[in-house]
Amino acid sequence: MNSPSPLLEGPGLFDFTAKLAHEIRNPLATIDLSLELMLAERKDDDLKTYMDIIRHSADKINELVNDLIKNRSIVEAQVANQSLHHLLDEVIEMAKDRIMLKNIMVCKEYDPTDCIVALNRPKMKIALTNIIVNAIEAMEAQLGELKLVTMPIAGKYVVQIEDNGCGISEKNLKNIFHANYTNKPGGLGIGLASTYDILTANNVKVHVESQEGSGTHFFLLFDNN
Ligand SMILES: Nc1ncnc2c1ncn2[C@@H]1O[C@H](COP(=O)(O)OP(=O)(O)O)[C@@H](O)[C@H]1O
Ligand SMILES: [Mg+2]
């Protein structure tokens, strides 16, 4: 498939990450403080849901930034046996605010047997989140259906992540794993390039099928149990 992301590799990465993480903390602290003041001043409930979402999201960024600064979890996590179902549930939980804001239906069709595979958990969470966030972004509010399917095939596990979003043209499909490829205004085109690197490092094969106007299916073959 396509080449790995040069943006996410190289000796300067940790320096860059640490500096970026420090810089993010300042505006984040301002967001936190402003939110606290807003919540204290507002007595009515009408915007509370949205304020709570902003707060959860700011807390999440804070957690990620702290992890990066301490250089732990993502860097140090070892490969260990993981339940694919728990992993998928956790990723859906992390994306629940976006799912709720777009009123997207989530349908889980998990195999009755839990799928246990050897993985780097924090990294695989990032990879699955990138795929699922793209799916959420591709779908129309109120009409979106996100389907997660797991099934064993010949001693291996397949995870399918399906959306009924805008789909991808045949020409663009060739580029989705390339660093910097994006067709979104304000998009970075880093998510799937990093996902591809993580999947490859964890022996997960990826195949994507898509049809413009109908939706996109990601097939992940976990080969490492
Ligand atoms: N589920 C999907 N439905 C439609 N397009 C998708 C989907 N997943 C990825 N893409 C396409 O792949 C591109 C690259 O995705 P990504 O690397 O995550 O970058 P970004 O989300 O910043 O654009 C997206 O801009 C989009 O065009
Ligand atoms: Mg993305």
pLDDT digits (tens, 9 = 90+) for 17-65: 767 877 888 888 888 888 888 888 877 777 888 888 898 899 888 888 8
CA of 40 to the centre of ligand 1 (A): 38
128, 182, 194, 199, best to mutate for ligand 1 pocket (most atoms within 8 Å of CB): 182
The answer to which of 128-137, 143-152, 215-224 has the lowest mean pLDDT is 215-224
pLDDT at 11: 46
Q: Are strands 215-222 and 156-163 parallel, antiparallel or unpaired?
A: antiparallel
Both tokens assigned to 164:
């009924």
CA of 161 to the centre of ligand 2 (A): 14
pLDDT at 38: 84
Q: What is the pLDDT of residues 165-204, one digit of tens each?
A: 999 999 999 999 999 899 998 888 989 999 999 999 999 9
pLDDT at 208: 98
**Which ligand 1 atom sits nearest the alpha carbon of residue 182?**
25
Nearest CA to 87 among 157, 18, 189?
157
- Judged against a pLDDT cut of 70, whether residue 224 lies above it is answered with no
Q: Which ligand ends up closest to the CA of 166? A: 1
Q: Which ligand ends up closest to the CA of 197? A: 1
Q: Which ligand ends up closest to the CA of 8? A: 1
Answer with the residue of higher pLDDT: 149 or 30: 149
Report residues near ion ligand 2: CB below 5 Å.
134, 191
Q: In terms of C-beta distances under 8 Å and separation of at least 24 residues, what long-range contacts does 203-208 make, across chains too?
A: 204/124, 204/127, 206/1, 208/168, 208/173, 208/176
Q: Which ligand ends up closest to the CA of 196? A: 1
Distance separating alpha carbons of residues 217 and 210, to the nearest angstrom:
6
The residue type of 80 is: A
Distance separating alpha carbons of residues 181 and 191, to the nearest angstrom:
10
CB 70 within 8 A of CB 122: no
Q: Is the CB of 174 under 6 A from ligand 1?
A: no
Both tokens assigned to 43:
């007595």
Q: Is the CB of 144 under 6 A from ligand 1?
A: no
Answer with the residue of higher pLDDT: 24 or 68: 24
128, 129, 176, best to mutate for ligand 1 pocket (most atoms within 8 Å of CB): 176
**Which ligand 1 atom sits nearest the alpha carbon of residue 131?**
8
Distance separating alpha carbons of residues 215 and 220, to the nearest angstrom:
17
Q: Is the CB of 216 under 6 A from ligand 1?
A: yes
**Which ligand 1 atom sits nearest the alpha carbon of residue 135?**
1
